[in-house]
Amino acid sequence: LASANPDHWKKAAAIRALALDGVAAANSGHTGMPIGMADVATVLFEKHLKFDAKNPDWPDRDRFILSAGHGSMLVYALLHLTGYEDMTLEQVKNFRQWGAITAGHPEFGHAKGVETTTGPLGQGIANSVGFAMAEESLRAHYGKKVIDHHTYVIAGDGCLMEGISQEAIALAGRQELSKLIVFWDNNNITIDGTVELSDRTDQVMRFKSAGWHVQDIDGHDAAAIDAAIVAAKKSGKPSMIACKTHIALGHAAQDTSKGHGALTDAAAMAEAKARYGWTTGPFEVPADIKSAWEAIGSRGNADFTAWQERFATVSGSKQAEFNRAFVGDAPKKLSATIKALKKSISEKAPSVATRKSSEMVLAAVNPICSETIGGSADLTGSNNTKTADLGVFDTDNRKGRYVYYGIREHGMAAAMNGMALHGGIRPYGGTFMCFTDYARPSMRLSALMGIPVTYVMTHDSIGLGEDGPTHQPVEHLAMLRATPNMHVFRPCDTVETAEAWELALSSKETPATLSLTRQNLPTLRTEHKTKNLTSQGAYVLADAEGKRQVILMATGSEVEIAMAARDILQAEGIGTRVVSMPCWELFAAQEESYRKRVLPGGPVRVAVEAGVQFGWDQWLSGERGKAAKAGFVGMEGFGASAPAEVLYEKFGITALAVADKAKSLL
C-alpha cells in the first residue's frame, strides 16, 4: 500500500499517528477505527469534499458526518491537519479532557467541522438523511447557485445494526437522495468480537433492497476509493460504498476487537508507526505532510469565494430570507400573526382538540415561515401536522415542505435533527405522545445539541381512549421534563397552543415538545392578552374570589377540570386560584418574585394532570408548598382501553375529585 501511492500513504499515516497519540495521551478512546478509515477519509478530503477550513460555516459546504462517532480522533485529526483554526494541536493533545473541544465523541458546537453529535450508534447516518433532505429542499427553493452540495457519512457495523439505520436508509431510498454518500467501514469487528458473533446480514443486498446504489471496494485502495466516489456522485440514488478495511491496520491488534478500543501500549504503538513509516515524536507531523494537508484544507477557498459572488447576485430579499433562516431568527411577522390569531380565538372561543389548535396555528404560520418543513410518522390526519400550503416533499417536488416519514418515529426525529443542523430549515414532526419512546434517542440529542426541533406529540393522555394503555402516555411528560434543555409545552386551549408555537418557532437553542390532546377542549383564554403568557411557563388563569384558600395547578386538558373544580369550591365559598402551567421549564426560569406571586405559600395546593405524579412535588411541597397541604389527582399506573370520558371517570380525574381533594386538605 505504502509503495503504490506514497503521497497518499503519508497523508493517511498522519491521521493514523495522531489517532494513536491522541488516544494514548487520554489513555481512553478508540484507535482502530480512525486507523482503518484513514485511507477513505484521506481520499474524500483530498479529492472530493467541498470545504474551506478557513470558512467552516460556509452554508454550501459538503457535510461530513462521522456516524461511527467513537472514532472521533479521525475527525479531530482531519480538522487539525487541514487547518481549522479552532482545532489546534493543543486541543488534539487534550483529547477527552475537561474544557477541550475534542470530546470523547464528536459534539456539535464544540469544534467547527463537527456537523452533528454522534456516538449513540446509527444517529449520524439517520441525521444525514435530514441533511440531504435539507439540501434538496434549499436547492429547490434558492437554486443551485446557492445550495448544491453532497453529504458524506462514515458508518460502522454498529450503525448498521441499530434499527434506526433501517428507517434512515429506507427513507433515503424512497426519496432518492442522490447526493447522500455513505461509506460503510466494513471491518468485521465489534466490541464483542467478529461481526459474525451477532450478524450475518448481507449489507450490500440490504441497501439495494432499500433502493440504494451500492459498491463494494477495498477501503485501503486509494484509486478504488476515488473511483467509487466518482461513481457514487453520478448515481441518481443514494449511494453506499462498502469499504473492506482492517481495523487498527498495521498495529498488533489489527483485525481484532481489541483493535476497536484504546491502543496505548508504547511498544505496539512504536511498531505500528514504524510500519506507517512514521518517524517523528508524539503529535509531531512533518512540515511537508502538514502543508500537503493544509493545501487540501484551502483547496475549496476559490469555490467559497465564487459562492460568495454568486450569492451576492441573488435578490436582496432572498439573501435576507436565507440569512435569517440560517441564523434561526423567526420571521418578523410571526409575533403579529400569533397575536392576531390569539385575538380571533379568544373572541370565537372554539371547542377543539389542541392537536387541531396546533393545525390552526400552523395554517397561519407556515405561509410566513418558508423555513418550516413539517411531517408525521404516518399519523398525518391524527397529528394535524399538514397544512394546505405546504405541498409534499417528493422526488418530483423538492419544493414541497411536508414529509411522509412513514412509520419511522426514530428516523423522523433524527432526520429533523439533521435538517436543523444543516441550517436554513426549521423542522417539526408528529406522532402520538406515547411514541416519543421510539424517537427518544434522537430527541435527547436535539436537547443535548441545543437545536430547535419541534415535536408535535398528540393524543397525550388517557384522553386518547379506546386504543388503550400501549398508546396512552402516563410517564412521558415526566420523562421529557426530566430531560435537560427541552421545553415541554402542554397547552390548555388554542390560545396557549398559539403561544407555545410562537416560543417553539422563536427558539434557537432549545427543542420543544408540544403535548396535545386528541379530545376537544374549550377555549379558556377568552380574554385577549397581547402578552405571551406561556412564555412565563405558568400564570394565574383565574384568581380566587374572596380569601385565597386553595391553589389548583394543572396543564393541558386538565386545566378545564381545574376550572370546573374551582367553580365547585367557589360555590362553597372556598376562594380558589387556578394556575395554568403550560411549561414548567420556563416557569422555573422565572425570577423568584414572579414564581412567588403565582404560587404563594399558605393555601392548599392540588395539582391535576392525567399523568403520573412524578415530578409534581417540585410545585406541590417545594416552591413554598407543604407536603401536608398538598395533593395530586392523576394517574397511578398505566391506562386502560375504553372511551376517554369513561377513563377520566374511572381513574378519578374529575372536577369533583379535585374539589374533594382540596377540601380534605383544608
Nearest 5°: phi and psi at 512? Answer: -130, 145
Comparison of 491 and 611: residue with beta carbon closer to its own copies: 611
Nearest distance, CB of residue 205 and its own copies, angstroms: 4
Nearest distance, CB of residue 249 and its own copies, angstroms: 22
Considering only CA atoms, which of 378, 374, 376 is closest in space to residue 388?
Answer: 374
Nearest distance, CB of residue 368 and its own copies, angstroms: 26
> What kind and span of H or E run contains 633?
strand 630-633
Amino acid at 480: L
Nearest distance, CB of residue 172 and its own copies, angstroms: 11
Comparison of 125 and 559: residue with beta carbon closer to its own copies: 125
Catalytic residue among 409, 496, 585, 623: 409
Nearest distance, CB of residue 124 and its own copies, angstroms: 11
Comparison of 556 and 625: residue with beta carbon closer to its own copies: 625
Q: What angle do CA 323, 329, 332 make, to 5 degrees?
A: 100
Nearest distance, CB of residue 322 and its own copies, angstroms: 29
Nearest distance, CB of residue 423 and its own copies, angstroms: 22
Q: Which three cell numbers stand for residue 140?
A: 429547490
> What kind and span of H or E run contains 360?
helix 354-365
C-alpha 577/C-alpha 554 separation (Å) is 11
Q: What angle do CA 165, 166, 170 make, to 5 degrees?
A: 115
CB neighbourhood size of 660 (10 A): 18
CA end-to-end distance (rounded Å), the chain: 83
Nearest distance, CB of residue 237 and its own copies, angstroms: 11
- Going through 384-535 in order, the beta strands assigned E by DSSP cover 402-404, 426-432, 454-458, 487-489, 512-515, 520-521
C-alpha 324/C-alpha 372 separation (Å) is 13
Show the DSSP H helices in 423-489 as ranges.
Answer: 436-449, 476-482
Burial string for 391-421 (b: 16+ CB within 10 Å, else e) reads: eebeeeebebbbbbbbebbbbbbbbbbbbbb
**Do residues 245 and 186 make contact, with C-beta atoms less than 8 angstroms apart?**
yes
Considering only CA atoms, which of 374, 521, 550, 395 is closest in space to residue 453?
Answer: 374
Q: Which three cell numbers stand for residue 553?
A: 395547578
Comparison of 43 and 647: residue with beta carbon closer to its own copies: 647
Comparison of 547 and 650: residue with beta carbon closer to its own copies: 650
Nearest distance, CB of residue 277 and its own copies, angstroms: 30
Comparison of 318 and 626: residue with beta carbon closer to its own copies: 626
C-alpha 71/C-alpha 126 separation (Å) is 17
C-alpha 550/C-alpha 576 separation (Å) is 5
409 annotated active-site: yes
Comparison of 125 and 224: residue with beta carbon closer to its own copies: 125
C-alpha 628/C-alpha 625 separation (Å) is 9
Contacts of 629 (CB under 8 A, 6+ apart): 603, 604, 605, 665
Strand order in 213-218's β-sheet?
63-66, 151-155, 180-186, 239-244, 213-218
Nearest distance, CB of residue 35 and its own copies, angstroms: 19
* Parallel, antiparallel or unpaired: strands 487-489 and 213-218: unpaired
Cell 483485525 belongs to 255
Comparison of 158 and 452: residue with beta carbon closer to its own copies: 158
Comparison of 17 and 214: residue with beta carbon closer to its own copies: 214
> What kind and span of H or E run contains 216?
strand 213-218
The full DSSP string for 129-188 is HHHHHHHHHHHHHH-TTT----EEEEE-HHHHHSHHHHHHHHHHHHTT-TTEEEEEEE--
C-alpha 275/C-alpha 291 separation (Å) is 22
Nearest distance, CB of residue 176 and its own copies, angstroms: 9
CA distances from 70 to 28, 285, 388, 454 (A): 11, 23, 43, 28
Comparison of 88 and 201: residue with beta carbon closer to its own copies: 201
DSSP, res 654? S
Nearest distance, CB of residue 377 and its own copies, angstroms: 9
3-class DSSP state of 553: strand
Comparison of 216 and 617: residue with beta carbon closer to its own copies: 617
Comparison of 33 and 146: residue with beta carbon closer to its own copies: 33
Amino acid at 110: H
C-alpha 512/C-alpha 443 separation (Å) is 10
DSSP, res 319? H
| Residue positions annotated with a catalytic role | 409
